[in-house]
Amino acid sequence: MTDKNAYSLPMKRSWPKSISRGFRKKCPQCGRGSLYKGYLKPNAQCDECSLNLSGHQADDAPPYITMMIVGHLVIPLALAHRQFFDPSLTSQFAIWTPILLLATFWLLPRSKGALIGLQWAHRMHGFADNA
């Protein structure tokens, strides 16, 4: 590639790499630019490679993914904690509520970024070559 913008039209888009970049909240194309300008609001375009990021359609999938993962990890631990240690309701609430909230808020932008990366890799929605 000798053109000055190596990201203009990549021939092959690696979905594992773009999902990984999105999970790290980076642009799925270059992996350097920030994906978000806020907690969950994607930038209109990448600061590094000028990829138009407005074409994603993550919709409701990131919350579903987040709930599925966090629920399957935290709920069995909470139930095991209850079964083996029989803690009071207050201590269960004090322990598991912050863990649930922190895990959810940590994972939600990452699952959305991974989904945006997957959409970019498969040229879905606004990420098609002719979009």
Q: Which residues bind Zn ion (CB under 5 A)?
A: 27, 29-30, 33, 46, 48-49, 51
Query: Which of 50/104 has CB closer to Zn ion?
Result: 50
Cα–Cα distance for residue pair 120/16, rounded to 1 Å: 11
CB of 124 to Zn ion, least distance (A): 17
Cα–Cα distance for residue pair 111/88, rounded to 1 Å: 33
CB of 125 to Zn ion, least distance (A): 17
Find the angle CA(2)-CA(17)-CA(27) to the nearest 5 degrees.
75
Query: Which of 62/117 has CB closer to Zn ion?
Result: 117
Query: Which of 27/116 has CB closer to Zn ion?
Result: 27
Task: Using alpha carbons, select from 29, 48, 28, 46 the residue that is nearest to residue 37.
Answer: 46
Cα–Cα distance for residue pair 113/131, rounded to 1 Å: 20
CB of 17 to Zn ion, least distance (A): 13
